[in-house]
Amino acid sequence: MKKRKKVVYRRHDRNEMPLLDPEIRKKYLNKEYALGYGHTVALDEADRCILCKKAPCTPSCPVNSEMEKWIEEIQKQNVFEAYKILRRNNPFSSVCGRVCPQERLCESTCVLTFKDNGLSVGIGGLERFVGDSIRMSGIDWIDEKEPPTGKSVGIIGAGPAGLSAAYFLARKGHDVTVYEALPFAGGVMRYGIPEARLDRRALDFEIELIKKLGVKIKTGVKVGVDIPFEDIRNAHDAVFIAAGSGRGKKMGIPGEDLKGVYTAIGYLMKVNTDYIDPMLAPEEDIELPRNKRVAVIGGGFTAVDCLITSVRLGNETHLIYRRTRETSSARDEEWDHVAEEGVILHWLTQPIEVIGNEKGEVVGLKCVKMELVPDEKGGRPRPKPVEGSEHIIECDVVIMAVGQGDNPTAYKDVPNLKIDKWNNLSTVDSKFRTNVEGIFAGGDVVNGGDTVVTAIAHGKKAAQSIHEYLTTGVWAYGEEEEEVKA
Ligand SMILES: Cc1cc2nc3c(=O)[nH]c(=O)nc-3n(C[C@H](O)[C@H](O)[C@H](O)COP(=O)(O)OP(=O)(O)OC[C@H]3O[C@@H](n4cnc5c(N)ncnc54)[C@H](O)[C@@H]3O)c2cc1C
Ligand code: SF4
């Protein structure tokens, strides 16, 4: 009998992602600060993977990325094959390798972490390595696709959900047109996440590959304003709504209409694209703060992006968050990164008023200290104000990164469409069908806001359902059926 090869568990010697020195990275708004694995490091990191037969990381990735297969290809030094496998499940590997919260997803179930405080394989770093290697090799990458079906699909929104659906549908041979309100494709990946975290060359490369499949992306077309939804529906055999849920909002506290108080979406759109769209942000224009004192309110991805960009614009930057670091939704390592760059972190602090001067300019933020108390309903601990703890944080600009609101512009007038109380489409069934025949929806417009990879997974599953509908003609909204597997 053939002897089984002894498995070597390298639980601790993970190759950490190299970063630019904080003093250097702070100087460059458009420079990515995580440098990525080079070839030898990537090969060594891939060698740490023990290639589990039933790899637990695959089901903990929303698109079921088949890590045990593509990491094995890196071990064999076959990056081309690795990218081919990655693209079976995800058209945005270079993006996900950078922005996914891997520690909560794929890396959280790595077998190396099961004992002795082991450290997971650097799955995100390896995924980025594969995508970047193909891009930088100059290969003219073309995905395989099936022969034309003669069916056409209209997609509203060119964010990760819409573009992912477009990719999988085009590979199935369908004719796909994406209608995008903004003058560029990418959704939050372009106007929200700053270049310091996501190199635009990586994003552009993966969008170009989708276009190479024949997908048409019509930018500057606001469905529900420039063209009625009905026209889109009439022009296609099926429609996928992937319009996100990305309207910037404020907190509703006194003083927030003062000059110098911005929504995070307005501010980030201005920094990242120099374009602010009234559908998504209330600000007509924003004078970007430079060498001022900026207070960012919030504790998620968006707050971190505001902090990173504010520091790079030369501002003294404060984070104000009503909970603790541990109970925030941003990635843990990113709090370390912003702290290294000099951001002043005010945890357990709740703003209650923006203070202005006689000219109507912001001069400070009145806050109270908070404490976490147990939630009576058994949920996560609740922040409660500490009596007599009012204080003022002096600042010139306030950016509110307190979540995004609904944006039903595209679908608000669709007759009989079930829209939920948040103006979103959480009313879809397990196959991403809305209650109106031929109309599907996915991404943030369904879940109200999650992650890039969840939006991609929705696009992938919806594409499979749309394909089934186009080829069988069966429409059974809400009927008990097995959920579509990503
Ligand atoms: C600032 C910020 C940072 C984030 N950082 C991360 C991160 O690091 N990692 C992570 O995993 N997730 C992150 N997220 C969350 C993630 O970006 C979203 O969950 C994801 O982009 C949702 O994808 P989507 O395609 O559903 O929507 P979107 O990305 O919002 O795309 C929707 C698109 O539809 C278009 N659209 C809207 N209405 C119309 C209309 N009427 N007609 C035509 N087009 C329309 C919009 O212009 C937009 O381009 C972040 C979110 C924000 C706001
Ligand atoms: S897509 Fe995201 S969650 Fe899935 S394997 Fe890649 S980095 Fe991990």
- 331, 337, 340, 342: CA torsion to nearest 10: -80
Any ligand 2 atom below 6 A from CB of 63: yes
Q: What is the pLDDT of residues 149-162, one digit of tens each?
A: 999 999 999 999 99
Name the residue at shortest CA distance from atom 37 of ligand 1.
243
How remote is the CA of residue 63 from the centroid of ligand 2, in Å?
8
Query: Distance between CA 486 and CA 483 in Å, rounded?
Result: 9
Query: Distance between CA 469 and CA 465 in Å, rounded?
Result: 6
Name the residue at shortest CA distance from atom 8 of ligand 2.
106
Ligand nearest to the CA of 449: 1
Q: Which of 120, 127, 451 to mutate to test the pocket of ligand 2 (most atoms within 8 A of CB)?
A: 127
With vertex at residue 52, the alpha carbon angle to CA 48 and CA 53, rounded to the nearest 5 degrees, is 155
pLDDT at residue 353 greater than cutoff 90: yes
Query: Distance between CA 454 and CA 40 in Å, rounded?
Result: 31
Q: Which of 96, 156, 188 to mutate to test the pocket of ligand 1 (most atoms within 8 A of CB)?
A: 188
pLDDT at position 481 is 59
Give the long-range contacts of residues 418-425, CB within 8 A, separation 24 or more: 422/245, 422/448, 424/245, 424/448, 425/241
Q: Which domains does the chain have, with CATH numbers?
A: 22-137 (1.10.1060.10), 152-245+406-472 (3.50.50.60), 249-403 (3.50.50.60)
Ligand nearest to the CA of 245: 1
How remote is the CA of residue 282 from the centroid of ligand 2, in Å?
34
Q: How confident is the model at residue 4 (pLDDT cuts 50, 70, 90)?
A: low
Q: Which of 452, 453, 456 to mutate to test the pocket of ligand 1 (most atoms within 8 A of CB)?
A: 452
Query: Distance between CA 341 and CA 335 in Å, rounded?
Result: 10
How remote is the CA of residue 345 from the centroid of ligand 2, in Å?
29
Ligand nearest to the CA of 67: 2
Share above pLDDT 70 across residues of the chain, in percent, rounded to a whole number? 98
Query: Distance between CA 87 and CA 17 in Å, rounded?
Result: 23
pLDDT at position 482 is 57
Q: How confident is the model at residue 483 (pLDDT cuts 50, 70, 90)?
A: low
How remote is the CA of residue 371 from the centroid of ligand 1, in Å?
32
pLDDT at position 378 is 83
How remote is the CA of residue 159 from the centroid of ligand 1, in Å?
5
Q: What is the pLDDT of residues 287-341, one digit of tens each?
A: 999 999 999 999 999 999 999 999 999 999 999 999 999 889 898 889 999 999 9
Which residue, among 352, 341, 334, 286, has the nearest Cα to 314 in the 3D structure? 341
Q: Which two tokens stand for residue 301?
A: 């991805």
The whole-model pTM stands at: 0.96
Any ligand 2 atom below 6 A from CB of 106: yes
pLDDT at position 272 is 98
How remote is the CA of residue 455 from the centroid of ligand 1, in Å?
8
Any ligand 2 atom below 6 A from CB of 89: no
Q: What is the pLDDT of residues 187-240, one digit of tens each?
A: 999 999 999 999 999 999 999 999 999 999 999 999 999 999 999 999 999 999
Q: What is the mean pLDDT of residues 130-149?
A: 97
pLDDT at residue 480 greater than cutoff 80: no
Mean model confidence pLDDT for the chain: 95
Question: Looking up tokens 């004192």, which residue turns up?
Answer: 293
User: CB–CB of 395/318 below 8 Å?
Assistant: yes
